[in-house]
Structure 1
Amino acid sequence: MVKFLLRVIVNGLALWVATLILSGMEVIPSSTFADTGDSTVNTVIAYLVIGLVFGAVNAVVKPIISLLALPLTCLTLGLFTVIINAGMLMLTVWLTTYLPMQLTVDAFWWTAVFAAIIISVVSMIANGVFGLNRSRQD
C-alpha cells in the first residue's frame, strides 16, 4: 500500500513539474471536491487525483497500446514510445473532464509530447530516489 501511495505521489509530482515548465498545460482544481477553503490543499488534492488517473491509464491501457505498436516502436528504435506516452497523457486529459478537477493540454504537438518527456524524466528520478524500481529482496 505504501508503494502504491508513493507512485501516486510521484505521478502527481511529475505532473506538477510539467505544468510548471509548460505554459500550455494546466491543472484546474475544484473547490467543490474538497471544500477545505484553502486553495493550496485543493490544488494538492487535484494533482494527487489526476496522478491516480494517470497511473491507472498507464497500468491498464498503455501495455495494450505498447504491444499493438511494437512493430512501429522497433522501426523507430523506441522513439515511438514518446508518442505513446503523450497519447496516454491526452487520454488522462479526456478522462479528467468527467472529474471535478481537470488537466488541460492545449495541443498534442508539442505540449503533450514535451510533457510526456518531462513526466518520464521526473518519474524516473523520483522512482530512483524513493526506490520504487528496485525488486523486493527479503
Structure 2
Amino acid sequence: MRSIAIKIAVNGVALWVAALVIPGIHLGENADQLSTRLITILLVAILFGLINAFVKPIATFFSFPFILLTLGLFTLVVNALMLELTSGLSHALGLDFDVEHFFWDSVVGALVITLVSMVLNLVLPDGD
C-alpha cells in the first residue's frame, strides 16, 4: 500500500513539474484554493497511474515494431499518447488538466514527466 502511495505521489509531482515547465500543460490552474488544487493533482495522478498500468502495456505491445525500429525512441510517442489520453479522460471526469497542442506539448511533457519520475524514484524508497 505504501508503494502505491509513493508512486501516486511521484506521478503527482512529475505532472505538477511538467505543468510548471511547459506553458501548454495546465493542471489545477482554475482552482481557487490550495486544497482544491492539491486534490486535482492527486486525482489526475491516480488517473495517469491507472492509464499507465492498464493502457500503456497494450499500446507498447502493438507499437513494438516501431519501438524496435527507432531503437526505443517511439516509447516517447507512446508516453505522449498516454498523457493525451489522461487529458481527454480528465475533461470527461471534470478535472482541471489540459494539454493544449497534441504533439509538441505532449512529447515534451512526457519527457519532463519521465525525467522527474526517474529522479524521484532514485531518491524515494519503494520498499523493494
Q: TM-score normalised by the shorter chain: which range applies?
A: over 0.9
For the 8 Å contact 1:29–1:100, the answer to whether it is kept is no
How big is each residue's C-alpha offset from its partner over 1:60-86, in whole Å with a ceiling of 9 and x where there is no partner?
Answer: 000011011111100000000000000
| CA-atom RMSD in angstroms | 1.5
Residue 16 of structure 2 is matched in structure 1 by 16
Change (3 A) 1:9 1:30: same
Q: Are the counterparts in 2 of residues 29 and 42 from structure 1 also a CA contact under 8 Å?
A: no
**Counterpart contact for 1:30–1:46, Cα < 8 Å:** no
TM-score scaled by structure 2? 0.94
Quick one: which of 27, 52, 60 aligns to 2:54?
60
The answer as to 2:79 corresponding to 1:85 is: yes
TM-score norm. by structure 1 comes to 0.87
Gaps of 5+ in 2: none
Structure 1 residue 127 corresponds to structure 2 residue 105: no
Aligned pairs, how many? 128
List 4+ stretches of structure 1 deviating above 6 A.
none
Which deviations, in whole Å up to 9, do the C-alpha atoms of 1:63-122 show, x marking residues without a partner? 011011111100000000000000000000011112232210111221110000000000
Partners in 2 of 1:114 and 1:86 — Cα distance? Answer: 8
Structure 1, unaligned stretches of length 5 or more? 32-37
SS in 2 for 1:78: coil
1:123 & 1:3 partners in 2: Cα distance?
14
CA shift for structure 1 position 30: 7.0
Query: Within 2, Cα distance between the matches of 1:54 and 1:45?
Result: 14
Larger gyration radius, structure 1 or structure 2:
1
Q: Does 1:98 align with 2:92?
A: yes
Q: 1:5 aligns to what SS in structure 2? A: helix
